[in-house]
Amino acid sequence: MMRIPGGTLLLLFLLVMPAFAYDGPIIDMHLHAWPLGEHGGPDEPKNVAARENALARLERFNVVLAATSGPEAFLDAWMEVEPDRLLSGPIFPCINGKNPTWFQYRCFEAGGNFPDPEWLEAKYTSGEYGVMGELYNQYAGIPYGDPRMNPYYEMAQRLGIPVAFHTHSAPPLTAHRCCPDFRIKNGNPLLVEDVLARYPKLKVYIMHANPLVYPEVMDLLTQYPKVHVDISPWEWVLPREKFHRLLRTYQEQGLLGRIMFGSDGHDYGDSLEAYNSAKFLSERELAGIFCKNAERFLRRRNLCD
């Protein structure tokens, strides 16, 4: 009878043991309610279909809460269908009064590139809105620290509203397509630092935070322990090995607890596979990324049980 050393048996067991695959509740901190398929409002046929498909995916993949930004009319239409599952918020600054995407509609029914502060505060105090942004300063060519932003930061800090900053870059030819003042250099997450210094109690999360391109984001997270990030769309834009390298960068710095999952409207199945295939992530780390980190950041309870 052949004897197999105990260490070899353990190694064989580990090799054949299936890796943990997360299939629990999800908090999506980066979803959009906006024109998708044609210009115009939420009742246009392709925009209705996009809404129905997006909301069906929330149910299918057990997305218990989704931070959702978009034009006022789209948020109203989506909230009418899913009032409890969506955490809504306005997108701004806008450009010529419209959202800076392929298909456009007016950001606010009253017009303008910025929301009326009194109107917006009423939305928050009523509970109709619960997040600020995605803020599109980079698209509009308006620095994060521009004085026009101060009333909104002050409001968010006073009311405890999370603020989502768009950083990094955008789809190709953005400056030619929609946004003549868009510049890549204005997407460095480090540019949020002035806002953090001026509003120390502001609840901030940085979107598209990629330390492989902007390693400064790690210094920002170290200096400001309450700042969180989402790292979409890198789970589906980057090659799998490079995305896993991005995750390891956070893990090696002890900062996985700051990552909150965001889909940016992409397929949840692909996103789950991208994270679940990172075999160096523990069950606890995956649960944190997909749900518990955001639950803690939002000060919610019992969403991830």
- Tokens 């999360």 sit at which residue? 205
Q: Which CATH entry fits the domain spanning 24-298: 3.40.50.150, 3.30.450.40, 3.20.20.140, 3.40.50.300?
A: 3.20.20.140
Residues 6+ positions from 124 with CB-CB distance below 8 Å: 130, 155, 159, 161
The whole-angstrom separation of Cα 127 and Cα 124 is 5
Domain positions in the chain: 24-298
Which residue type, as a one-letter code, is found at position 179?
C
* Structure confidence at residue 37 (pLDDT): 87
Which residue type, as a one-letter code, is found at position 140?
A
How far from 176 is each of 39, 102, 140, 171, 181, CA to CA, in Å? 18, 12, 13, 11, 9
For 145, half-sphere exposure in the C-beta direction (CA atoms, 13 angstrom radius) is 12
Backbone angles phi, psi at 26, to 5 degrees: -125, 135
**Where are the strands (E) in the chain, listed by range?**
26-32, 63-70, 86-90, 132-135, 163-166, 204-207, 228-229
The whole-angstrom separation of Cα 107 and Cα 261 is 25
The whole-angstrom separation of Cα 80 and Cα 77 is 5
Weakly modelled stretches of the chain, pLDDT under 70: 1-19
Q: For residue 162, give the nearest of 295, 1, 64 by alpha carbon.
A: 295
The whole-angstrom separation of Cα 229 and Cα 125 is 25
The whole-angstrom separation of Cα 155 and Cα 41 is 28
* Structure confidence at residue 101 (pLDDT): 84
* Structure confidence at residue 85 (pLDDT): 98
**Model confidence pLDDT, tens digit, residues 47-98:** 999 999 999 999 999 999 999 999 999 999 999 999 999 999 999 999 999 9
| C-beta atoms surrounding 305 within 10 Å | 9
Which residue type, as a one-letter code, is found at position 65?
L
pTM for the whole structure: 0.92
**Model confidence pLDDT, tens digit, residues 152-171:** 999 999 999 999 999 999 98
* Structure confidence at residue 18 (pLDDT): 40
* Structure confidence at residue 62 (pLDDT): 98
* Structure confidence at residue 102 (pLDDT): 79
The whole-angstrom separation of Cα 305 and Cα 301 is 9
The whole-angstrom separation of Cα 86 and Cα 296 is 17
Backbone angles phi, psi at 107, to 5 degrees: -70, -40
* Structure confidence at residue 7 (pLDDT): 52
